[in-house]
């Protein structure tokens, strides 16, 4: 069974700009996962597409239809009476609107429609640190991944994906100027130094998976 992913706008932006396993994002992402999102994220992603970004247009068209994009029925109530009460301890920010609705969507789907635990895919490290991880510590609704974690999982679970393909995908995502580096920076570090730290960390993780794949037969 394919893992279920609820994807955020920043991850859509980053993944849309890479090829993986010799395929465009709209091909490989749906090949390996069941992909969903919420209407705020879909609008954010669609509104941000420029005329020159044909690769994003393909992905945007693929992410269409009521079966893939949800507008949670109880979003406002869950956000105001639960999320803001327990976890979102600041004035509402438009920057976090997609992450807030995506979280409320996942919880509604689990409560109402018995969705299994899901993967919350986001590259917004501020949102993860500020309220997403805190909510997950209390309610086991799934896992929070970044796009880099997604690549590691695919290398772990899909034998047709080579070490070189996985390492190239990691490198391509990390090199994007929009990929956040703040949480990897030490005092005095530049963005380039932080990106080197991220690359070293994830290459190490990739090598541990490579060792595991060598031990466990396909």
What pLDDT is recorded for position 51?
Answer: 80
CA–CA distances in Å: residue 147 to residues 85, 106, 158: 29, 18, 16
pLDDT of residue 119: 97
Inter-helix orientation angle 9-16/25-32, to 10°: 120
pLDDT of residue 90: 79
- Report, as ranges of residue numbers, the positions in the chain whose pLDDT lies below 70: none
Output the pLDDT for position 150.
97
- Give CA–CA dist 90/214, Å, rounded: 48
* Nearest residue to 130 (alpha-carbon basis) of 80, 65, 84, 81: 84
Indicate the domain borders of the chain: 4-145, 163-215
Output the pLDDT for position 21: 84
| Per-residue pLDDT, 42 | 95
Write the class of the CATH domain 4-145.
alpha beta
| 197's tokens | 């730290």
Measured between alpha carbons, how far is 174 from 76 in angstroms, rounded to an integer? 35
pTM over 0.85: yes
Residues 6+ apart with CB under 8 A from 92: 84
Q: What is the pLDDT of residue 8?
A: 97
pLDDT of residue 202: 97
Residue 30 vs residues 27, 36, 48, 212: alpha-carbon distances, Å: 6, 10, 22, 26
Closest CA to 29 of 48, 49, 65, 4: 4
Phi, psi of 133 (to 5 degrees): -65, -35
> What per-residue confidence (pLDDT) applies to 131?
95
């Amino acid at each position: 069974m394919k893992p279920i992913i609820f994807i955020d706008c920043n991850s859509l932006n980053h993944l849309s700009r890479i090829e993986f396993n010799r395929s465009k994002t709209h091909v490989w992402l749906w090949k390996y996962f069941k992909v969903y999102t919420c209407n705020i994220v879909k609008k954010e992603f669609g509104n941000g597409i420029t005329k020159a970004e044909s690769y994003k247009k393909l992905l945007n068209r693929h992410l269409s239809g009521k079966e893939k994009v949800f507008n949670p029925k109880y979003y406002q109530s869950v956000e105001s009476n639960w999320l803001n009460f327990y976890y979102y301890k600041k004035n509402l920010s438009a920057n976090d609107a997609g992450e807030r609705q995506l979280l409320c969507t996942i919880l509604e789907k689990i409560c109402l429609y018995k969705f299994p635990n899901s993967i919350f895919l986001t590259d917004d490290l501020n949102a993860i640190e500020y309220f997403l991880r805190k909510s997950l510590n209390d309610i086991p609704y799934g896992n929070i991944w970044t796009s880099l974690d997604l690549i590691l999982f695919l290398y772990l679970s899909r034998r047709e994906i080579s070490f070189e393909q996985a390492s190239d995908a990691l490198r391509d995502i990390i090199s994007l100027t929009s990929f956040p580096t703040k949480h990897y920076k030490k005092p005095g570090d530049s963005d380039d130094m932080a990106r080197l730290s991220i690359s070293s960390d994830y290459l190490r993780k990739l090598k541990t998976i490579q060792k595991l794949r060598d031990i466990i037969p396909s």
